[in-house]
Amino acid sequence: MNKATKFSELQAERLKFKPELPEILKKGAGFIQAIKGKATSSIADQEKVKDIFPNTYGLPSITFKKGKNALTTKKAIKVGVVLSGGQAPGGHNVIAGLFDGLKKANKKNALIGFLGGPLGILENKFKVITEENLKSYRNTGGFDFIQSGRTKIETPEQFLATKNNCEKNKIDALVVIGGDDSNTNAALIAEYAKKENLPMSVIGVPKTIDGDLKNKFIETSFGFDTATKIYSELVGNICRDVNSAQKYWHFVRLMGRSASHITLEVAFKTQSNITLIGEEVLETKMTLAKIVKNITDIIISRSKAGKNFGVALIPEGLIEFIPEMKELISALNDTLVQNAETIEKLNSPQEKKDFVCSKLPSNLAELMKSLPDVIAFQLMLDRDPHGNVQVSLIETEKLLVEMVRKKLTEFQKENKFDGKFLPITHFFGYEGRCGIPSNFDAVYTYSLGYNAAVLALNGFTGYLSSVRKLTKPSKQWECGGVPLTMMMNIEKRHGKEKPVIQKALVDLKGKLFKEFVKKRDIWAKSESYVFPGPIQFFGPAEVTNITTKTLCYESSGK
């Protein structure tokens, strides 16, 4: 631990927490047998995905069952671990579970942590992980033990550097803790290693606060539980504040990239007045004007009841789902790539905007010009290394506030609105990513790491660590692995077709969304706010071990 870092009383207490492993993992890899299921296929674009992954496509899913497995304990192995992408509560416990799982199987097993994300692999920067340097990070938030990064390993030179450094360090398995893009990268490294006859397996661990890396075998990504609890506390406090002062409208943008899972979860936990769901906007082709109309309708109707206050939740990815904005962003992605050199040479954002507008089809150029400058500039910012628009940098809440204000002013002139509109904007994202992991996340991450150790000790490659039946007590959780290629489809990135793990967006036919649709009108009119308060680590299980509404509804169909 960094010398400057001091433990708070709570953190000191949390170090003593012992995550309870699933029963199947408790005795270690030597007592776990891997049962292979049927061969799998990718969720879409099967032929194209198969062509790209000739060596790792179609692997069977894996379920762990009790039974002796001496092979996993005889030979000592060396594992490299890397944290990739955005922070999510519980990352340190994945490393702790991985470390303990390896040591339980054979004391000579070794673990090194690549520093600063995948770049650490390329630059061969790592730290040897020992009980001594790991112990103060158990059950803590953050990724600061070995840090993270968003470097994508994609060029032939980068793959070669990965191979050379892994060979140099005699690494038998590489564990990539990441979201959909990082695990797509893990799948590509697994395929490359097979092709090059590199005796190294690659295992992924599902991480992301966004909650969009999930499927039949991955019920949730880690970090979603803690992050949504932190945001819900903050939003709940705001709800209480608006209800106390009764004079402001708060517009809160919430992280989550494209998916609105975080926003939907926070909506249930706080019962805020307005919640926008990006996936619904896409499905119903809701234009920006229609979204603004829906918001102003609620503001006016609350105002008529004497309530010039409320709370509105906006998913950060909303902007990508509004039909005309989606079209604009897609055209911008191409224009920015095709004209990168020229744009680079232009000095001011205004010059860049003018140039970009000159290259866009006229309807999109008009739209770009109609946006507040600050939003237009933000739309032109660099894409991330995986080709995604950095929605965390686009202040959609401010765009909506401006448009709503304009509309209400028009209505005021027409005597259709005589209330007040005093908006305040917020963005909650980074506040939730490094929080102390909730009991659920602390146990889940420890189990995911331990489970990854078992997969690695069995020599499996191209798998995502999978721990399931998560709404049951952790003792009863089921464990195994799910092939990474199974979750893939082909998408356009940086203007080119690429294999990627498909994001799981909010299911509009799912029970949770349907329940939301039933409730939202009531929440819009009333002050049925809920104030969840801070995460509780100690106390009655109904409070400390409660998980997300999303997981409960999706797992049990309640």
| Residue placing its CB nearer to ligand FBP in the complex, 61 or 183 | 183
DSSP 8-state secondary structure symbol assigned to residue 207: B
| Residue placing its CB nearer to ligand FBP in the complex, 14 or 257 | 257
CB of 206 to ligand FBP, least distance (A): 10
Residue 204 φ/ψ, nearest 5 degrees: -100, 160
Q: Quick one: which of 329, 376, 391, 546 contacts ligand FBP (CB under 6 A)?
A: 391
| Residue placing its CB nearer to ligand FBP in the complex, 228 or 303 | 228
Residue 94 found at the interface with ligand FBP (CB under 6 A): no
For residues 200, 201, 207 and 212, what is the CA-based torsion angle, rounded to 10 degrees?
Answer: 130
Q: Quick one: which of 72, 183, 208, 226 contacts ligand FBP (CB under 6 A)?
A: 208
Per-residue binding string, ligand FBP, 114-153, x by CB under 6 A, is ------------------------------------x---
Residue 85 found at the interface with ligand FBP (CB under 6 A): yes
d(CA 554, CA 468): 12
Residue 201 found at the interface with ligand FBP (CB under 6 A): no
CA 292 to chain centroid: 28
| Residue placing its CB nearer to ligand FBP in the complex, 245 or 381 | 381
Residue 115 φ/ψ, nearest 5 degrees: -95, 140
Candidates 254-262, 407-415, 434-442, 446-454; binding stretch for ligand FBP (CB under 6 A): 254-262
6 close to 461: Cβ distance less than 8 angstroms: no
Question: What is the dihedral sign for C-alpha 426, 427, 432, 434?
Answer: negative
| Residue placing its CB nearer to ligand FBP in the complex, 205 or 312 | 205
- Length of the chain in terms of residues written: 558
CB of 520 to ligand FBP, least distance (A): 23
- Could you tell me which of 196, 179, 269 has the C-alpha nearest to residue 232? 269
430-489 positions binding ligand FBP, by CB under 6 A: 433
Residue 210 found at the interface with ligand FBP (CB under 6 A): yes
| Residue placing its CB nearer to ligand FBP in the complex, 391 or 546 | 391
461 close to 56: Cβ distance less than 8 angstroms: yes
212 three-state secondary structure: coil
d(CA 78, CA 123): 19
Binding-site size, ligand FBP (CB under 6 A)? 15
| Residue placing its CB nearer to ligand FBP in the complex, 200 or 389 | 389
> Which of 210, 212, 225, 441 is an active site residue?
210
CB of 116 to ligand FBP, least distance (A): 13
Contacts of residue 58, Cβ cutoff 8 Å, sequence gap at least 6: 39, 40, 41, 50, 483, 485
Q: Quick one: which of 234, 255, 400, 512 contacts ligand FBP (CB under 6 A)?
A: 255
Alpha helices in 287-322 (DSSP H): 288-304, 318-321
d(CA 467, CA 477): 6
210 has catalytic annotation = yes
Structure tokens at 321: 């789902």
CB of 88 to ligand FBP, least distance (A): 6
Residue 209 found at the interface with ligand FBP (CB under 6 A): yes
CB of 182 to ligand FBP, least distance (A): 6
β-strand pairing of 173-178 with 423-428: unpaired
- Could you tell me which of 298, 229, 28, 17 has the C-alpha nearest to residue 135? 17
d(CA 207, CA 221): 5
Candidates 27-35, 131-139, 253-261, 346-354; binding stretch for ligand FBP (CB under 6 A): 253-261
CB of 369 to ligand FBP, least distance (A): 26
Q: Quick one: which of 78, 214, 257, 261 contacts ligand FBP (CB under 6 A)?
A: 257
Candidates 83-91, 361-369, 412-420, 460-468; binding stretch for ligand FBP (CB under 6 A): 83-91
DSSP 8-state secondary structure symbol assigned to residue 3: T
Q: Quick one: which of 73, 158, 243, 392 contacts ligand FBP (CB under 6 A)?
A: 392
Strand partners, 39: 60
Whole-angstrom Cα Rg for the chain: 24
Q: Quick one: which of 142, 179, 206, 310 contacts ligand FBP (CB under 6 A)?
A: 179
273-332 positions binding ligand FBP, by CB under 6 A: 316
Q: For 404, left (φ over 0), alpha (ψ -120 to 50), or beta?
A: alpha
80 three-state secondary structure: strand
Per-residue binding string, ligand FBP, 150-169, x by CB under 6 A, is x-------------------
Alpha helices in 396-548 (DSSP H): 396-413, 430-433, 439-457, 511-525, 541-544
The CA-CA-CA angle for residues 181, 25, 463, to 5°, reads: 25
Candidates 84-92, 136-144, 166-174, 267-275; binding stretch for ligand FBP (CB under 6 A): 84-92
| Residue placing its CB nearer to ligand FBP in the complex, 42 or 208 | 208
| Residue placing its CB nearer to ligand FBP in the complex, 223 or 499 | 223
CB of 392 to ligand FBP, least distance (A): 4
| Residue placing its CB nearer to ligand FBP in the complex, 34 or 209 | 209
153 close to 122: Cβ distance less than 8 angstroms: yes
| Residue placing its CB nearer to ligand FBP in the complex, 147 or 474 | 147
Contacts of residue 197, Cβ cutoff 8 Å, sequence gap at least 6: none
Single-letter residue type at 72: T
Candidates 2-10, 80-88, 121-129, 370-378; binding stretch for ligand FBP (CB under 6 A): 80-88
CB of 146 to ligand FBP, least distance (A): 16
d(CA 343, CA 352): 6
Catalytic residue positions, numbered: 210
Residues at the contact surface with ligand FBP, assessed by CB under 6 A: 85-86, 88, 150, 179, 208-210, 255-257, 316, 391-392, 433
